[in-house]
Amino acid sequence: MSDTSGSIVPLTPNLPAVPVGAVTPGVVEPFPLHLRDLRDQVQRFLLEYEFGLREVETKISILRDEFQEMHEYNPIEHVTSRVKSIDSVLDKIRRKGLTLDLATIRAEITDIAGLRVTCSFAGDVYRLFVLLTRQDDIRVISVKDYIAEPKENGYKSLHAIVEVPVFLSSGRIEVTVEVQFRTIAMDFWASLEHKIFYKYREQVPAGLREELKDAATTAAALDAQMERLHRELHGGQSSG
């Protein structure tokens, strides 16, 4: 956004205005040093989360391969991961009313790096959670069990914020990663619910909200029934 003088108006009081100079044809203007430094800081900041995510992904991958090769049953159906884009991080900063400094962002936004582990059954969700979090280099910061206590709209999942060490050339750092554990049915419901909310720009009609909640109840019943059948098939043993 610019004013009538031709200068850029800063969006926040923490960011200085950058004047718009005349561009000389055929001359490449040097990139301002303060912007280059800012770019480098942001790149390093997001790289730290990428590295932390890889550490947790490796732990889950090892467990998955062990189950695949050494056991008759593999509880992990699939794994997805992502690091939030800078635009997504900025949007969350704006919604939470945070200041634009990396220390505050690191402390207040704990889902910049995210891993989703989709399991066959609810019992597998809790088993994988224990197998990951009991490792001695993992520190559990917080847990939200939306399976035991679903959200009002019917959403179910087990969310854990964990801290994992990452070793850089400059030394050890601790990186937070959000890990979500859910069943296939929970993941299916959550995916469709997200698409519906996106389509309606979060203004979902009340009737559709009720249908989504009913569908969540149906998905939970299907989860329980399929897990019971699985246990019967395996002679009453647990899904693990």
Residue 191 included in any domain: no
Residue 45 included in any domain: yes
Choose, from 55, 178, 193, 227, the residue flagged as catalytic: 178
Give the range of the structural domain holding residue 163, as residue numbers without chain letter. 35-185
Separation in Å, CA 9 to CA 1, 90, 103, 166: 6, 18, 25, 39
Residue 201 included in any domain: no
pLDDT category at 6 given cuts 50, 70, 90 is very low
Task: Measure the CA–CA gap between 77 and 119, rounded to whole angstroms.
Answer: 5
What is the residue whose two structure tokens read 């035991």? 148
pLDDT category at 12 given cuts 50, 70, 90 is very low
Residue 72 included in any domain: yes
Model confidence pLDDT, tens digit, residues 127-164: 999 999 999 999 999 999 999 999 999 999 999 999 99
Largest CA-CA distance found in the chain, in angstroms, rounded: 79
- What's 65's domain CATH number? 3.30.460.10
Mark whether 178 is an active-site residue: yes
Model confidence pLDDT, tens digit, residues 94-121: 999 999 889 999 999 999 999 999 999 9
Residue 238 included in any domain: no
Number of domains in the chain: 1
* Over residues 227-240, mean pLDDT: 72
Task: Measure the CA–CA gap between 158 and 145, rounded to whole angstroms.
Answer: 5
pLDDT for 26 equals 59
pLDDT at 233 over 50: yes
Residue 92 included in any domain: yes
Residue 228 included in any domain: no
